[in-house]
Amino acid sequence: MVTMYDSVTPSAIPADAPIVAGYQDGIYRWPTNAWLMFPKALHVGIVVKASSNAGQVLDVETGDALPSEAPGWVTMRRAAGQIRPTVYMNASTWPAVRAAFVAAKVPEPDYWVAKYDGNPALPPGAVAKQYLGYPGGGSPGAYDVSSTDGVWPNPVPPPVLPEVLEDMGYACVIAGGVLHVFGEVNGVAYHWFQPNPFPQGHTPTWEVERLPTP
């Protein structure tokens, strides 16, 4: 697991935080220079309005977005190219949010669940859990603390390159002693590569990178 911090006061977050989450709309919107305070951290944008076509996380709680608005926002963000749109809500609201996706017939997104019990263990079905809160939720500072699954907010690791490439639309190139394979999986472009020819005793292990969308 990797720890994530969020706050309405960016300067309150530890400078060495590996993941920071901040608002991209609403009255607590972070200024641009606030994100620059964390050059080595992964940045997670949160929006509180379902009409905001921005961010990776929709905040569903009292005064912010409604559970019924979550499917529309997720659909909008997916269409905009966000690979892992996520909904944040407290544990008691989670069933209502999930029911909204079932009713709307929209594939469920990732879930970031809040429950201030001091236990970082992720509940089944969640990619992150806010387990310490401020104020009154046990946090040692003016910020909230969450555990993550160690992958989110990054894209899910790409699938392993299939052993059989023929007739699958993959392009293979050998250059500079490296075998390169280019192809798409579920609409996402990847580049696999490894030495060619294989060194003696070498067990083929593909390196992989996700290619940017044109």
Confidence of residue 196 (pLDDT cuts 50, 70, 90): low
Please, where in the chain does CATH 3.20.20.80 lie?
2-148
The answer to whether residue 149 scores a pLDDT higher than 60 is yes
The answer to whether residue 212 scores a pLDDT higher than 90 is no
Confidence of residue 159 (pLDDT cuts 50, 70, 90): low
Pairing of strands 128-132, 144-148: antiparallel
| Summary count for the chain: helices (H), strands (E) | 3, 12
pLDDT of residue 47: 97
What number is the average pLDDT over the span 65-86?
Answer: 93
The answer to whether residue 133 scores a pLDDT higher than 60 is yes
pTM here is 0.73
pLDDT of residue 22: 96
pLDDT of residue 164: 43
pLDDT in tens, 86-124: 999 999 999 999 999 999 999 999 999 999 999 999 999
pLDDT of residue 9: 94
What number is the average pLDDT over the span 19-39?
Answer: 94
Greater confidence (183 vs 32) lies with 32
Instruction: Give me the residue label for tokens 């620059």.
Output: 36
Confidence of residue 25 (pLDDT cuts 50, 70, 90): very high
Taking CA atoms, 103 is separated from 28, 68, 76, 126, in Å, by: 31, 9, 17, 20
| % of the chain at pLDDT higher than 70 | 84
CATH number of 2-148: 3.20.20.80
Q: Are 96 and 67 in contact (CB under 8 A)?
A: yes
Q: How far is CA 189 from the centre of its chain?
A: 18
Confidence of residue 176 (pLDDT cuts 50, 70, 90): low
pLDDT of residue 166: 44
pLDDT of residue 200: 54
Rounded to the nearest 10 degrees, the angle between the axes of helix 70-79 and helix 94-104 is: 60
pLDDT of residue 158: 54
87: β partners: 58, 111
Q: What's the mean per-residue pLDDT of the chain?
A: 86
The answer to whether residue 33 scores a pLDDT higher than 60 is yes
